[in-house]
Amino acid sequence: MAAETALLIVDVQNDFCPGGALAVNEGDQVIPPLNEAATAVAQRGGLVLASRDWHPRQTKHFAEFGGKWPVHCVQGTEGAAFHPNLRLPEGTIIISKGTGTEDDGYSAFEGHTDTGETLDAVLREHGVKRLLVGGLATDYCVRASALDALKHGYEVIVLTDAIRGVDLQSGDSERALQEMQAAGARLMTTAEALQTV
């Protein structure tokens, strides 16, 4: 794998895992394959990025202010922390998103580093051409981030064993996968992806 391949870990935070405020079924099961991918990518000199849902307490994203969701991933809370079993290699770049009071901020491409850089800018600076994408949730932030990555011209591989969905409507995750694939993403298991690229 060349250094032009980066790993984007989407929103593996306590609130999206079992016991959390917006728990995704089996959400914590994305962690072992993502830890494996992170180690492999970092070892080969590739960049690892981790996005986090990072909401203010009052945002139109939450049901009590007109949105769709229970309160989750409020900036600085335990629910917003990365899951303790997630092992982020040294040098992992954190992208915070959903930080506004008006927007959902589903895509990591709407987020920023702590110095205010966009994800696209970071990827360009590092010469990244291809993104491996995994995390939570398949039908929201993984979907939005993968589709935006394709729009920005990156090659995208979705790690099928390292994603789980909310499925507010049954079939949402399956439809999201088909949508990502139709837009040009490749779907592979983590093991396949680490062998192939």
Q: Which residues bind Zn ion (CB under 5 A)?
A: 53, 98
- Residue from 6, 11, 123, 148 touching ligand VGL (CB under 6 A): that is 11
Question: Phi/psi at 71 (nearest 5 deg)?
Answer: -60, 130
Residue of 53, 97, 139, 148 with catalytic role: 97
Cα gap 28→31, rounded to integer Å: 6
- In the list Zn ion, ligand VGL, none, the entry touching 109 (Cβ below 5 to 8 angstroms by class) is none
Cα gap 178→187, rounded to integer Å: 10
Q: What character string, x for contact with ligand VGL (CB under 6 A) and - otherwise, covers 76-115? A: ----------------------------------------
- Helical H segments across the chain, by residue range: 31-43, 119-125, 143-151, 172-182, 190-196
Q: Is 141 a catalytic residue?
A: yes
- Helical H segments across 113-189, by residue range: 119-125, 143-151, 172-182
Enzyme catalytic residues: 11, 97, 141
Provide the binding-site residues for ligand VGL, judged by CB under 6 A: 11, 53, 69, 136-137, 140-141
